């Protein structure tokens, strides 16, 4: 939906990057996925890398902080209860976001650029209102009031950190107030990028030397040393490292299930929801390109991306299979990895619109799917083989509860503690791995390793 200018003769200049951000915000609130909205508004724009980074920050930051921004804006409106037109409300949100959360943008610039957008895309009177509201926020920040933290902690945290009530309530009940607040704050920080070194094409020393030569700051993964965390935005040295296959973009938490599965060279392994291939390619690399990795997925388009990723990384043992898991007849396998559809609440820091799109009922529906998929996955494991269940969510119903109920239904499986593979700080008393976004450089995730008992 390209924005339409008002076509007045005195039309003013405006910032194209902010205009694209405004268009993306409107698309997102009309139901588009954030990543797709950004792709649509940047197509054909020829923005510089610096412009693209600013655009991402504006769109993702404003989307994340939507509830906080709307809460603050209402204190400066003459009629706080009235709904503003979509375009107007998003111009205000962009302006407030820059004033509140982007210290690199001078407040005066945030105001003037918002006014320019309003002049260009809305009525003249709206530009005056935008100017008055933003300047009032700068003069009188004390107008903004939050509910008492003590009297209503859920509403306070939800308004201040910008989340739906149900998720905040879960975090407070699950972790307590102090840890819940740290976790909510962590999700609002700019997302980090992690490179996984591809042992088939490069050694970690080679990659780190290239990064150092180009003055790219980085740190090594705490739990998986072949994962390198980039300190900064963007994808540095994309041509030299990514397109050459020497590294692959993957969060360290997404590599943990593969290490827990611990596939060996020569194994017969299956990844049951494989595309676009982060875990499948990591398995193949851990297996030194020896054995077989069956990569199952019901999306042909995403399997094509997987095959392309495997080719770039020099992987030859992945066999893509276009099939719904419920209809798959192969096996048995030495190792089985199941990473089912989940609510994604471990990746809310990277998926800006997730917090507004996911509903409590979605989790209830997903749990039913996850249970069915895990039972099907179990049938593919040979006696003595290993099954790893992993998610990128922190919701107990999708994690611990799924495994405990599975073990009650499937007495021929037993937990193998992750403590034999990872430091105890990652492993709980049941032997499961749980990571959270307040862990250094990790998304939230869960995984459990189960072994099928040998038949008598």
Half-sphere exposure of residue 26: CA atoms within 13 angstroms, side-chain side: 21
**Tokens representing residue 111 in the block:** 């105001």
CB under 8 A, 24+ apart: contacts of 307-312: 307/277, 309/248, 309/276, 309/277, 309/281, 310/277, 310/280, 310/281, 310/284, 312/243, 312/244, 312/245
Helix (H, G, I), strand (E, B) or coil at 124: helix
Give the whole-angstrom CA distance, residue 345 versus residue 214: 35
Give the whole-angstrom CA distance, residue 430 versus residue 261: 17
Give the other-Cβ count within 10 Å of 282's Cβ: 29
Active site residue 323: no
Residue 335's H or E segment, with its range, is: strand 333-338
Catalytic residue among 171, 323, 342, 392: 392
Direct distance between the N- and C-terminal alpha carbons of the chain, in angstroms, rounded to an integer: 64
Paired with 386 in beta bridges are 335, 451
Q: Are 348 and 321 in contact (CB under 8 A)?
A: no
Question: What residue spans of 65-151 are helical by DSSP H?
Answer: 66-73, 86-101, 107-121, 124-139
Q: Which residues are catalytic?
A: 392
């Amino acid at each position: 939906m390209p924005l339409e200018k008002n076509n007045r003769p005195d039309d003013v200049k405006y910032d194209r990057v902010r205009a694209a951000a405004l268009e993306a915000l409107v698309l997102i609130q009309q139901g588009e996925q954030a990543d797709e909205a950004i792709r649509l508004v940047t197509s054909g724009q020829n923005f510089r890398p610096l412009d693209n980074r600013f655009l991402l920050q504006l769109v993702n930051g404003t989307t994340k902080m939507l509830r906080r921004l709307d809460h603050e804006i209402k204190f400066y409106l003459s009629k706080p209860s009235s709904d503003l037109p979509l375009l107007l409300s998003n111009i205000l949100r962009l302006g407030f976001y820059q004033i509140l959360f982007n210290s690199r943008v001078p407040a005066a610039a945030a105001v003037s650029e918002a006014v320019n957008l309003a002049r260009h895309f809305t009525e003249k009177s709206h530009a005056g209102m935008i100017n008055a509201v933003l300047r009032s926020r700068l003069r009188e920040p004390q107008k903004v009031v939050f509910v008492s933290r003590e009297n209503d902690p859920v509403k306070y945290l939800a308004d201040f950190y910008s989340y739906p009530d149900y998720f905040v309530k879960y975090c407070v009940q699950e972790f307590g107030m102090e840890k819940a607040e740290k976790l909510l704050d962590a999700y609002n920080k700019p997302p980090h990028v992690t490179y996984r070194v591809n042992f088939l094409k490069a050694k970690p020393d080679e990659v780190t030397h290239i990064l150092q030569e180009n003055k790219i700051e980085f740190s090594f993964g705490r739990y998986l040393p072949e994962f390198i965390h980039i300190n900064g935005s963007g994808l540095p040295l994309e041509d030299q490292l990514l397109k050459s296959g020497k590294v692959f973009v993957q969060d360290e938490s997404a590599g943990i299930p593969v290490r827990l599965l611990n596939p060996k060279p020569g194994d017969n392994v299956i990844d049951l929801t494989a595309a676009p291939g982060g875990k499948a390619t990591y398995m193949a690399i851990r297996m030194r390109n020896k054995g077989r990795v069956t990569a199952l997925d019901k999306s042909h388009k995403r399997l094509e991306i997987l095959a392309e990723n495997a080719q770039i990384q020099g992987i030859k043992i992945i066999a893509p299979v276009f099939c719904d898991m419920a209809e798959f007849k192969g096996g048995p396998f030495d190792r089985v990895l199941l990473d089912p559809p989940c609510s994604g609440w471990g990746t809310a820091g990277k998926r800006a619109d997730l917090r507004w799109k996911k509903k409590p009922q979605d989790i209830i529906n997903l749990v039913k799917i996850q249970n069915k998929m895990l039972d099907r996955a179990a049938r593919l494991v040979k006696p003595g083989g290993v099954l790893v269940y992993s998610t990128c969510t922190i919701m107990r119903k999708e994690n611990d509860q799924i495994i405990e109920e599975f073990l009650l239904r499937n007495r021929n499986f037993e937990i193998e503690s992750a403590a034999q593979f990872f430091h105890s700080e990652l492993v709980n008393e049941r032997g499961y791995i749980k990571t959270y976004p307040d862990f250094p450089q990790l998304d939230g995730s869960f995984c459990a390793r189960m072994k099928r008992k040998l038949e008598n």
